[in-house]
Structures are given as C-alpha cells and as structure tokens.
C-alpha cells in the first residue's frame, strides 16, 4: 500500500503529464482546440496565446522569486561584527581559577595540535615558554 505522499506525488505526476501533452497538442494542431475555445480565433491566435500564457507564468514566477529574495535580504538583520563575536567567545571561556589544575593538565595533554604553518609553530612555542 502506498503512503499518502506517494499518492500525492502520483497525482501531481499525472496532472503535469496531461497538461504537457495538451500543450503539445495545442501548439502542434490548434484546429483540435479551435472549436472549443472560440470559433472566431484562427490557428495563429491560439498558438500565440498558448505561448504567451506560459511566458507570462514563467516571468511572474521569476519576479516572485526575485521579490522573495529581496524581501528576505531587506528584513534580515545584519550579522554581528567579528570583533563582538570574539569578545563573547572570550567571555564564555572559563578562567584558570574556575578549572582545577589537574583537569587543565589532562585537557592540554589530550588536545592534539594541528597547526601546520610556521607562524603557528612560533606561537605554540611562545605559549609553552610562558607556562
């Protein structure tokens, strides 16, 4: 037994397939539709409106997406500057008084160093000399 989502997907697929086939028939042979729409229209008028409606829908869809992007950008607050984020991170770090010395040694011993640049190596050496 198919799930509800699969049934909806199947219906969407069939509707799109039927619309696509109908559109091809209208463009290829407008005489078939000529009697249904209006006896006063000729073949070229039906072809024109078939293309014009699709182009209008595509244009409006693109304009809607652009408007949505613009609205989102206009109403989203700017991110915090990096300096403020760095200050917050520094304030959240526990001081050495808060961490017992035994735990500090365990953490520093287990922490792997992955700095590969020469400047990073110099910083690491300075920090180890300061301790």
Q: Is residue 131 part of a domain?
A: no
Task: Give the model's pLDDT for residue 126.
Answer: 61
Which structural domain, as residue segments, surrounds residue 43?
Answer: 4-75
Q: Is residue 13 part of a domain?
A: yes
| Whole-model pTM over 0.75 | no
Count structural domains, the chain: 1
User: pLDDT digit string (tens) for 72-103?
Assistant: 999 998 888 888 888 888 888 766 565 655 55
Q: Is residue 59 part of a domain?
A: yes
Task: Give the model's pLDDT for residue 1.
Answer: 62
Chain centroid to Cα 22, Å, comes to: 33
Q: Is residue 34 part of a domain?
A: yes
Tokens of 45: 């008028």
Judge contact between 33 and 46, C-beta under 8 A.
yes
Task: Give the model's pLDDT for residue 93.
Answer: 77
Task: Give the model's pLDDT for residue 51.
Answer: 92
Tokens of 80: 């915090």
Q: Distance between CA 20 and CA 66 in Å, rounded? A: 26
Task: Give the model's pLDDT for residue 65.
Answer: 97
Residue 2 DSSP code: -
Residues of the chain scoring pLDDT < 50: none
């Amino acid at each position: 037994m198919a799930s509800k989502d699969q049934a909806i997907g199947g219906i969407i697929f069939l509707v799109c397939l039927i619309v696509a086939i109908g559109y091809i028939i209208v463009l290829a042979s407008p005489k078939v539709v000529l009697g249904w729409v209006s006896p006063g229209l000729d073949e070229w008028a039906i072809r024109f409106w078939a293309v014009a409606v699709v182009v209008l829908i595509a244009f409006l869809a693109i304009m809607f997406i652009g408007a949505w992007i613009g609205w989102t950008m206009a109403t989203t607050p700017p991110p915090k500057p990096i300096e403020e984020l760095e200050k917050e991170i520094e304030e959240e770090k526990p001081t050495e008084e808060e961490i017992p010395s035994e735990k500090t040694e365990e953490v520093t011993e287990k922490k792997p160093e992955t700095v590969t640049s020469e400047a990073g190596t110099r910083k690491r050496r300075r920090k180890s000399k300061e301790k």
